[in-house]
Chain A
Amino acid sequence: MQRLLADHLLSVLVFLPAAGALLLLLLPRSAVGAARAFAIAVSLLELALSLPLWVRFDLAQQGFQFREKIAWIPQLGISYNVGLDGISLLLVLLTTILTPVSLLFSYSHVEKEVRGFSIAFLILETGMLGSLVALDLALFYVFWEVMLVPMYFIIGIWGGPRRIYASMKFFLFTMAGSLLMFLAILYLAIRHQAATGVWSFAFEDLYRLAFTGRTETLLFLAFALAFAIKVPVFPLHTWLPDAHTEAPTAGSIILAGVLLKLGVYGYLRFALPLFPDAAMHFAPWLGVLGVIGVIYGAAVAYAQHDMKRLVAYSSVSHLGLVVIGIGAFTTMSLTGSILQMINHGLSTGALFLLVGVLYERRHTRELDAYGGIAGIVPVTTTLFLIATLSSIGLPGLNGFVGEFLILLGTWTSPHRWWAAAAASGVILSAIYMLTLVQRVFWNPMTHEENKKLTDIRPTEFIAAAVLVVLMVWIGVRPNDVLDRIRPSVEHLQKVVAAKQQAATYTRNAAP
């Protein structure tokens, strides 16, 4: 057991939830309480097992750690090849934290088909973790697509009134992007075989390939489209508000917390290092789309009457900021972007959760249905306020650190005006989020039934409190996290620069 955990920690983490899902199949469907408790137990065990990653992660090492490699389809050089760097480390931990949080919240709120819900959630966790640690492109693609199926069911079965439309749209949008990436991955492997005579889908092997401008552009676009849809980058974002609004609260938490981040992660992990020239060529476009996303998302969020839709559009805005940081491509802005992904997962996760708390009591998310409830649900109000302040970047909480790094990093890049535009997004976020708080919690009470609202339940409180504690922790001691991100960011930049340089040499050498 000790050996297994020492040498195969990542594999255990990836497959434990799937194994739990299989065991759940053995439970009778009527054993609702047991299914709930079992799923939470598995996700908590998963969380406990993931903590050693944080402790054992070697800050001095820039490459991938916790490596494992086993041949999978040896004829084509496809292997089960996993590893972790600072970027994926944090997202893995975010996943293992948000999964029990979501399940804990659902403990008292999912009544229909509890066993199925738990199975879907655990398989989803396997898919997310697998995508985050895979270093073989075929393996990555498998996990990337496997995530879709449970999420489709989570939205489609346990979602709101328009869940069918939303789940279908989510599936088709995501699939449309990934199918092109699938062809691009195959093409990369075929080129590798043609160049070296050896089949390989390993990221580190494919990285050595160099392409002519047109091919590289096409390949880059195939990858970038898949990731941009997932993020989502404006104008590919239209599936997001629907999916978020209709998904059950737990689904929204995971969707905002992890699934969107996988788009950014995939871009950083694969698209950038594989096609650095094209990526740098398109970086200004990326930045501009990010700027549009920030401002557009904020404006639309401000206009919403539905709390969940408002938070969903705020995600478009916040992820626009992350995209700007990546487009600027300075060490600082990249570090900020990665931290901001974690921050957004925590704060938006908490916001969705607390909106869910209110919704479960009043069965409406209309802003106008609330007002003046701060005195009636003081604990919920406090938690909501903290999450809001984190989301709008109040110093002392996590959001500030990430936003500040992105703005500063972007300002030092050639694209200063992005930073100016992004800063306006930060201000806009304060406007729409504080308006939300004002209208829901403070304004005079207009609806009598709100007087009977009950405050947050213990399971809900624990779930939300965990997130709030993490917000404060990152806000106060950001270096704990930044120290883990920075080496990986520097490594990424080095890798990209090295490949760009090599490409320049070969191009100059050619007649």
Chain B
Amino acid sequence: MTPDLVKFTHADLAAIAPEMVLALTGCLILLVEAFAPRLRRWFATLALAGVAGSLYFLLEAPGGTTFGGRFDTSSLTVLMGLFLGAAAVLAILMAKPYLERTGEEKGEFYALLLWGHLGVSLMTRGLDLVIVFIGLETLSLAFYVLAGFFRSVAASSEAGLKYFLTGAFGSAFTLYGVALLFGASGGTKIEGFARPGFADSPAVIFGLLLLLVGFGFKMSIAPFHAWAPDVYQGMPTPAVAYLSVAPKGASLIVLYRVFSAAFEGGMPDRFRTGIIALAILSMTLGNVVALAQRDIKRLLAYSGIAQMGYVTISLAVFGKDALAAAIVFFFAYLASNAGAFAAVASLYRDETKPHPVALLAGAGRRAPFAAAVLALCLFSLAGIPATAGFIGKFFLFKAALEKGFYALALVGIANSLISIGYYLKVVYILYMREPVEADAPPSLAPADRLALALCAAAILGFGIFPSTLWEVARRAAATLPFAGP
């Protein structure tokens, strides 16, 4: 151990205060549950306060690196912190009515969510692969438990076990990759990879590929996607809303950080070819398989696999504008995907059963607000203009064309067309089919209403006025060292 890890300075504590607030709030919730279970209905509020406090400290934290250059506070981490915080807030908002409906209003849910959130936050801020890995594992452990949250439901236990097994597999890849990079550079600090000729060695390339696989698991990029549909199906919907967005964004940032350091002289062509293959496979497989889905959560899982394929385009293009485009894309994806899951959480009566799309029939009339937001989210995921999803794709494809990736952009466009097939199918069921269930969906709780309204506002807001977000994302992307423009 190097001495600078032992001595914490004041600046170190200020830098990590956001994560500490999250950890403590989680503990507090568990303590309150143990000693004053009657305060149960305040858990969500407490969790929201924890996220808000964490964001406050994040915005207050002085910029620069701390912990001996291992921990980052920059416009990139602040922007990603806002992104992750928004995901957590949305998940907590939809969790409260969801847990009340299912009769499982337990403090663990919020505590685990906050700790998972803490892990994701560490991933985006760590400048040392050990910190990144600790973040990854904290996230994973919390969400393994959340996946199996409904202990008495077979699908949920299955989700927990599946996520645990595949997740452990993914972590092993990551760890092996870290070990190889450690061997080659003599340290685990990312800045230590920024050496001329570092990426020439096959061991390093292999290590980077392993990292790509490990974080590809978390991002559910095909062919590392197989866990996603089953886990989404069994996991409580609010947790899925978080898991399907936040860790994916954080993983991309980690990959960008490592690659931008290791590929000082630009990304090698063969490595890039591999990433392009992943992007094409993920987009195509995700979209084509989504066409055949009958369960809305599985459909959204495959849609997510396809969406991560689009994000991988950014990684293949690799550059400041490509990263900024990916960040904008993630903000759009957060609003659209979390909104879709919020609507799903509120539209289904029985959470312990599957969620067939066919049950949504007639929702357009019986639950007009949730149905309208779901439709808006799907149009946004499909990339129809005037929504945030279009803006995300706009910047991504612009970045790809700008660097001459014409074929990749064409494949992306063709995939957008395929995706319209299944997104529109859900809209059709929402609005153009007669209801199959006698009972209308449960009425919306205020928290659900707020979550849905926030997502809808963000989709239209970013969709119609994207320039501020783009500017901020570009400034954030500029904090990473890229070779060339």
Contacts and interface: CB of A to CB of B under 8 A. Distances in A.
B385 A145 contact: yes
Contacts of A141: 385
Nearest to B409: A183
Given A73-B467, A153-B431, A146 B401 contact: no
Contacts of A182: 397, 413
B31 interface: no
B413 A163 contact: no
B386 interface: yes
A69 to B, nearest CB: 15
B333 interface: no
Given A72-B467, A142-B386, A183-B410, A175 B417 contact: yes
B384 A172 contact: no
B302 interface: no
Contacts of B310: none
A72 B466 CA distance: 9
B467 A75 contact: yes
Contacts of B390: 142, 145
Contact of B416 (A29, A146, A179): A179
B365 interface: yes
Contacts of B424: 152, 168, 171
Interface string B198-234: 0000000000000000000000000000000000000
Contacts of B384: 145-146, 148-149
Contacts of A163: 432
Interface string A136-180: 001001111110110011001100000110011001100110011
B368 A29 contact: yes
A156 B431 CA distance: 8
A114 to B, nearest CB: 13
A190 B401 CA distance: 8
A187 interface: yes
Nearest to B379: A149
A113 interface: yes
Contacts of A190: 398, 401-402
B133 interface: no
B420 interface: yes
Contacts of A189: 398
Interface in B259-310: none
B256 interface: no
Interface residues of B, number: 29
B398 A176 contact: no
B100 interface: no
Nearest to A141: B385
Contacts of B397: 182-183, 186
A175 B383 CA distance: 11
Interface residues of A, number: 36
A187 B467 contact: no
B323 to A, nearest CB: 15
A197 interface: no
Interface string B377-401: 0010000111000100010011001
B428 interface: yes
Contacts of B379: 149
Contacts of B365: 113
Given A29-B368, A157-B432, A171-B424, A179 B386 contact: no
Interface in A376-429: none
B461 interface: no
A73 B384 CA distance: 18
A400 B378 CA distance: 47
B389 to A, nearest CB: 12
B413 A164 contact: no
Contacts of B421: 172
Interface in B412-440: 413-414, 416-417, 420-421, 424, 428, 431-432
B471 interface: yes
B470 interface: yes
Contacts of B474: 75
Interface in A185-203: 186-187, 189-190
B8 to A, nearest CB: 41
A75 B471 contact: yes
A74 interface: yes
A253 to B, nearest CB: 21
A163 B474 CA distance: 45
A168 B401 contact: no
A148 B467 CA distance: 25
A186 B431 contact: no
A412 B432 CA distance: 51
Interface in B341-400: 365, 368, 379, 384-386, 390, 394, 397-398
A328 B292 CA distance: 47
Contacts of B386: 142, 145-146
Contacts of A143: 385
B401 A186 contact: yes
Nearest to B416: A179
Nearest to B432: A156
Contacts of B385: 141-146
Interface string A186-225: 1101100000000000000000000000000000000000
A259 B259 CA distance: 48
Q: Choose among A163, A171, A183 the residue with the greatest number of B CB atoms under 10 Å from its CB.
A: A183
Contacts of A149: 379, 384
B409 to A, nearest CB: 6
B265 to A, nearest CB: 24
A143 B384 CA distance: 10
B229 to A, nearest CB: 25
Given A75-B470, A168-B424, A179-B413, 13 more contacts: A73-B470, A113-B365, A138-B394, A141-B385, A142-B385, A142-B390, A144-B385, A145-B386, A145-B390, A146-B386, A156-B428, A183-B413, A190-B401
Top 4 A-B pairs, shortest CB-CB distance: A142-B385, A145-B385, A73-B467, A179-B413
10 contacts: A29-B368, A73-B470, A138-B394, A146-B385, A153-B431, A157-B431, A164-B428, A172-B420, A172-B421, A186-B401
